[in-house]
Structure 1
Amino acid sequence: MGKKNTANRKKTGLIMLTMSLFMFSPIFMHLIGFKIPLFENLGFTKSSFAPWYTWIIVIIVTIAYVIFTFKAIPFVYIMQREISLFKLIGFLAIVGGILEEVVFRRWLMDLLHGFDYGIIIQIVISGLAFGLAHVMWGLFGGERKFLKGAFISTTILGFAYAIVYLLGNRNVGPCIISHS
């Protein structure tokens, strides 16, 4: 049993590392001077900083999500206290968080807005896409018993981030900070 669990953790770690490195590539390209319009002005400049209430809302969303996840997926609570590959993967996931927020909030919601979809449709599609994307981690990692909880929690989180994005005047900065 222990060997299978270790093998599954290594497999999950390898998949997450590979995906994180892949997701880091556009950020790296931007950092070395290749300007990618999607990554321009992520909301941290003085002229585009999100309103103060957006930051308070995103702090509340972050705390609520962490508490919910610790209760709904006990494995996450257990592993967060361990110095392990799990924490390395968490660090690498920060990179993924930046890219995910740019894709699921800025790109997807702005695309829907450009096609004249209302804010409810933007929130629903962004949240559902976010939830489905995170279910893939569970499928790859072989942790199928947590799929329902992961889908529900990340979909709700996706809805919350979409609302924060809209309340912040389409500023993705608070979502990136919370996600990371």
Structure 2
Amino acid sequence: MSELTTSSERNKTGWILITIATMLTASIIFWFFNNPEGFIENLIGYKRDVFSNIFIWIFTAFIVVGYIAYTIIALPFVKAHVFTMSWLKVIGIRIAIVTGIVEEVIFRHLLMEYLLTNAFSDLKQILISGIVFGIAHGVWVLLRGDWKIALPVILSTTILGSLLAMLYIMTGRSTFAPIVAHMLINMVIEPWLMLSAVSGKWDSKLK
């Protein structure tokens, strides 16, 4: 691990991620035991024909590779640590799985189905889903008062959210592909994205 981050910053990051992961895991457990079949088919979006359309998975790969590439270019700190293995990375993998599920259920399935029932067009659903997703991911940066990084975070995650919303509609309103994309992205960039936020060392590189 780079000396640019202190033990205190790494421990704080670990506890933040563990707390978030625990809360989101509780949500997943609740959804599953409340309605196991509905959880798998409706919330997770897993159906027998989920892998039948190759173009869906090409688009999924485009989203994953594109956002990871953007992140490691925009944030040298994340790029410097992306292949680092540590106890934080183990926690990062767990957080990637649970956030991929919960955030896609909330920002794609629940939000977009609500908008659909209120007669919002597909385009409006995509834009609203993306914007809400972007704002939600930018709030924690804004709380630090770091406007220089907050605006790019909000813009980039708005674009990511909009692409995932497009993917959701393209798959016949199934969250499965968006969940896979979200998980893969977070598995690469976490926990380094959170550590960079905690330490404030967005632009730092390894010595």
Report the AA paired with residue 75 of structure 1: F
In the alignment, is the contact (CA less than 8 A) between 1:105 and 1:126 conserved in 2? Answer: yes
In the alignment, is the contact (CA less than 8 A) between 2:17 and 2:92 conserved in 1? Answer: no
1:39 matches 2:42: no
> 2: CA distance between counterparts of 1:165 and 1:37?
20
Matching residue of 2:130: 127
Q: 1:84 to 1:149 in 2, by over 3 A?
A: farther
Structure 1 residue 71 displacement after superposition: 0.4
Q: 1:121 to 1:134 in 2, by over 3 A?
A: same
Structure 1 residue 162 displacement after superposition: 0.5
TM-score w.r.t. the length of structure 1 is 0.85
In the alignment, is the contact (CA less than 8 A) between 1:127 and 1:162 conserved in 2? Answer: yes
Aligned positions, number: 177
Q: Which consecutive residues of structure 1, in runs of 5 or more, have no partner in the other structure?
A: none
Structure 1 residue 5 displacement after superposition: 4.3
Q: 1:107 to 1:177 in 2, by over 3 A?
A: same
1:10 matches 2:11: yes
Structure 1 residue 168 displacement after superposition: 0.9
In the alignment, is the contact (CA less than 8 A) between 1:113 and 1:122 conserved in 2? Answer: yes
Matching residue of 1:175: 178
1:52 matches 2:54: yes
Q: Which consecutive residues of structure 2, in runs of 5 or more, have no partner in the other structure?
A: 184-207
What is the root-mean-square deviation of aligned Cα atoms in Å? Answer: 2.6
TM-score w.r.t. the length of structure 2 is 0.74
Structure 1 residue 138 displacement after superposition: 3.6
- Choose between structure 1 and 2 for higher RCO, CA contacts under 8 A separated by at least 6 residues: 2
Q: 1:21 to 1:82 in 2, by over 3 A?
A: same
Q: Deviations over 1:101-125 (max 9, x none)?
A: 0110000011001100111211111
Q: 1:150 to 1:89 in 2, by over 3 A?
A: farther
> 2: CA distance between counterparts of 1:97 and 1:74?
24
Kindly indicate which of the two structures has a greater share of residues assigned to helix.
1
- After superposition, where does 1:58-73 map in structure 2 within 5 Å? 58-73=60-75
Matching residue of 1:22: 23
